[in-house]
Amino acid sequence: MGRFVTPGDDSRPESVVVRIDGFGYGGEGYSRTPDGFLSVWHALPGERVEVLPGDYHRGRAWGRLVRVLEPAGRRVDPKCSHYDSCTGCALRHIGRSDERSWKLTQLAEILERYGPSTSTIELKWVGPEERDGHRERANYQIDPNAEMPLGFRGPSGTHSPIPDCPAQSDGLNQLVCEIGAWLKSDLFGLFVPSSVEILHSQEGHSLLVLKTGVPISSDLLAGLRRAAETSAPKRLNIALLGPNQVTTGRDQVTTLVGKLGHQASPFGEVPFGVWTHTTLAPAEAMYGWVGEHLRGQADRLLDVCSGVGGISIRFAHRFSEVLALDVNHDALGCLSQCAARRDLDQIKTRAGKVETILPRLVKEQQGTPPVSTAVINPMRIPLGPGPLETLPELGVTKIVYLGPSPVSAAKDARILAGLGYEVVDAAGIDLQPGTGRVMLGLAMRLVSGAQEA
């Protein structure tokens, strides 16, 4: 068997035939070979496949699937004409039920390795039945020479034109095609954005973000304004993300049309750069699960890492006070405006780092009712012991933890177990069907003082 590519080696071997031994954490198949691990997208355990080895990173070689010589019995039609040339979805070649089983198994193994004891808890599944048409936002590479200039990253970094991605909504696919044709027009001339981000909205304004590494001319700026008003899809905001048009060289967003790079969210329009859900329908299923654990709480809620306030807005009517914490001032500004429009006076906000705000809240707690419930939704790093140790001091008896990184969520849950909390419910929350990603949801309650995790 031929050798693989190693760091610093520019050569490329011929294709090899391997047996796939298992799934990797991202949903890729992998093979243990005499030359090391070989990871292969879209290959299933047990299959015998022909692979063209490519780049070496993350401690292993990665290869492109050439053909399946002996398919596994559970392989299904991915129902995507671009599946062989795109790595955006990792698991469309297995059935939805198999995808669910694999993701739940991954979460169970992560909890066993990193989390507290959950042997008596059965992982629930929270996600849509189908995996098509759910995505409303995506980043695209640009190939100005392709008939369709917008596409995703394919194997080995190749450009994969995607005019009709099944994971995207019909509205986003239509927008991609219209903007792709627009980018091929004479307006852009020799100017080529480094990448494009498109956020589609069923209601309100969609957003097109052109990302560039060089300043663009005033003529092109003027042309973009005119084009957006005439030929671009209706109700479209456009923003340019690139070097300052003056002298500083710092990145900035330059408004071309409409509000300052505003994007639509379920709560109105929010500034570009403020995180919003990419998949709105799966997110609604997540909110349903959260709501099951926030029933009958006529007291105070702490919304940690609130973002634009999906939790705060939806469940404020169940609480006498909601305190939303986030490091992003713009996100909290949007939350405050939305709360005011809906007469949700019980929602308060505090901007800053969680590790700074929570200890301050402990000091300010004297003479006020305790915070009985906390929802924690960090990005991809654990909160760690410092912030978590303040929760019992604040009077928190119930916690709902939403972990985009299951490993980080499990590590934080182990710390919370040492503080006297136990897991009463756990769920795999599938915000991105068809991919190797899954969120870990944990509901915990305070049962005792500090104990062994």
- 3-class SS letters over 397-411: CEEEEEECCHHHHHH
The predicted pLDDT at position 29 comes to 94
- DSSP assignment of 17-33: EEE--EE-TTS-EEEEE
How many whole angstroms from its chain centre is CA 166? 18
Q: How far apart are CA 303 and CA 166, in angstroms?
A: 34
The predicted pLDDT at position 264 comes to 62
* pLDDT tens, per residue, the chain with 453 residues: 344 544 445 555 688 999 999 999 889 999 998 888 899 999 999 999 999 988 787 778 888 899 999 999 899 999 998 888 887 899 999 999 999 999 999 999 999 999 998 888 999 999 999 899 999 988 898 888 888 888 887 766 677 888 889 999 999 999 898 888 888 877 666 677 888 888 888 776 788 888 877 777 777 777 777 766 665 556 777 777 766 443 333 445 555 555 555 666 666 667 767 778 888 889 999 999 999 999 765 689 999 999 999 999 999 999 999 999 999 998 999 899 889 989 999 999 999 999 999 999 999 887 777 889 999 999 889 999 999 999 999 999 999 999 999 999 999 999 999 999 999 999 999 999 999 999 999 999 999 764 444
The predicted pLDDT at position 430 comes to 97
**Which residues are within 8 A (CB) of 396 and not within 5 positions of it... i.e. 6 or more apart?**
302, 370, 371, 372, 373, 374, 446
Q: What is the identity of the amino acid at 273?
A: G
Quote the tokens at residue 45: 């355990």
Containing 327, the helix (H) or strand (E) segment is none
**347 torsion bin: left (phi>0), alpha (psi -120 to 50), beta (else):** beta
**Which residues are within 8 A (CB) of 269 and not within 5 positions of it... i.e. 6 or more apart?**
204, 205, 259, 262, 263
End-to-end alpha carbon distance in the chain: 47
The predicted pLDDT at position 143 comes to 85
Quote the tokens at residue 348: 């308060």
The predicted pLDDT at position 71 comes to 94
The predicted pLDDT at position 254 comes to 54
The predicted pLDDT at position 7 comes to 44
Q: What is the identity of the amino acid at 238?
A: I
Report which of 228, 217, 229 is spatially closest to residue 190, judged by C-alpha positions.
217
The predicted pLDDT at position 260 comes to 53
What is the bridge-based pairing of β-strands 236-243 and 29-33?
unpaired
Whether 73 contacts 45, CB under 8 Å = no
**157 torsion bin: left (phi>0), alpha (psi -120 to 50), beta (else):** left
In the chain, how many H helices and how many E strands? Answer: 10, 23
Q: What is the identity of the amino acid at 120?
A: T
Residue 225 φ/ψ, nearest 5 degrees: -60, -45
Q: How far apart are CA 166 and CA 4, in angstroms?
A: 33
Q: How far apart are CA 265 and CA 310, in angstroms?
A: 10
Report which of 108, 53, 45, 54 is spatially closest to residue 75, judged by C-alpha positions.
45
Domains and CATH numbers, the chain: 16-75 (2.40.50.140), 100-129+279-446 (3.40.50.150), 137-271 (2.40.50.1070)
Report which of 296, 330, 328, 291 is spatially closest to residue 313, judged by C-alpha positions.
291
Report which of 420, 194, 399 is spatially closest to residue 301, judged by C-alpha positions.
399
The predicted pLDDT at position 399 comes to 97
